[in-house]
């Protein structure tokens, strides 16, 4: 896989960073997209090059369709191709639905769902021309259950939308040698939540413990592999049984 190229949104920290470093260890060239985490993105890019691979850190607001398209074009111009698009960015905020603002509501869709459409549409042309591609997007465990979520309503609807978009893209792109799949993490110790808060969640997880970032990385590694060439339009839960 020495000639493979990946673009990872939200790749500066947490799960996205871990995926970037895992791909670098496999000699992928990795472009890390970030919106605000400039220092972390620079650190991730350095860690990629320290592993002997090529790195690109790009600030981009992928909620802007023109910027998203330009980002894909930049990666293709830099390295001549784009083999894998991994959509890790997924900010959220907690607020009761009846207290949500129009701006807060729109923000959840703008940063969780819309970029996947913009980036996938932009990346599809090159992938179709090469008859190869992998698109992986992150939803959340239980988003396929369609349950009430009073405190994260817009975020939850956006993550459910990710699953519908994933299936639709898979159906359209499968004839061109492209797979499109989703990963739905449960409680993962990615550094975004206090350890005490995560520990309190363990009793709600059938497996009895919080997942590690490596659990999610392993799922991505599988979906990018040739062993997963016939896996298309699926949603892999990485949750220890939570949310099913």
Catalytic residue among 34, 156, 209, 230: 156
Residue pair 54/81 in contact (Cβ under 8 Å)? The answer is: no
Q: Rounded CA gap, 82 and 98, in Å?
A: 42
Q: Rounded CA gap, 184 and 21, in Å?
A: 20
Q: Rounded CA gap, 106 and 50, in Å?
A: 39
Q: Rounded CA gap, 82 and 123, in Å?
A: 7
- Burial string for 171-207 (b: 16+ CB within 10 Å, else e) reads eebeeeebbbbbbbbbbbbbeeeeeeebeeeeeebee
Q: Which residues are within 8 A (CB) of 81 and not within 5 positions of it... i.e. 6 or more apart?
A: 3, 5, 126, 130
Catalytic residue status for 156: yes
Q: Which residues are within 8 A (CB) of 96 and not within 5 positions of it... i.e. 6 or more apart?
A: 150, 151
**Active centre residues (catalytic):** 156
């Amino acid at each position: 896989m020495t000639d493979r190229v990946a673009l990872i949104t939200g790749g500066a920290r947490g799960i996205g960073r871990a995926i970037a470093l895992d791909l670098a260890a496999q000699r992928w060239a990795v472009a890390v997209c970030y919106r605000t985490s400039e220092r972390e993105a620079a650190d991730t890019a350095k860690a990629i090059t320290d592993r002997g691979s090529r790195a690109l850190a790009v600030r981009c607001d992928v909620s802007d369709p023109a910027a998203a398209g330009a980002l894909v074009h930049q990666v293709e111009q830099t390295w001549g191709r784009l083999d894998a698009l991994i959509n890790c960015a997924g900010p959220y905020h907690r607020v009761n639905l009846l207290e949500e603002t129009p701006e807060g509501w729109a923000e959840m869709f703008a940063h969780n769902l819309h970029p996947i459409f913009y980036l996938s549409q932009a990346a599809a042309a090159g992938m179709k021309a090469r008859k190869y591609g992998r698109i992986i997007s992150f939803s959340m465990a239980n988003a396929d259950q369609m349950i009430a979520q009073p405190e994260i309503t817009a975020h939850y609807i956006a993550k459910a939308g990710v699953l519908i978009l994933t299936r639709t893209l898979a159906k359209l792109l499968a004839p061109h040698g492209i797979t499109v799949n989703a990963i739905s993490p449960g409680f993962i110790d990615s550094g975004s939540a206090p350890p005490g808060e995560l520990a309190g969640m363990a009793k709600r997880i059938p497996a009895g413990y919080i997942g590690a970032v490596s659990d999610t990385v392993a799922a991505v590694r599988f979906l990018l592999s040739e062993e997963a060439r016939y896996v298309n339009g699926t949603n892999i839960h990485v949750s220890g049984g939570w949310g099913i």
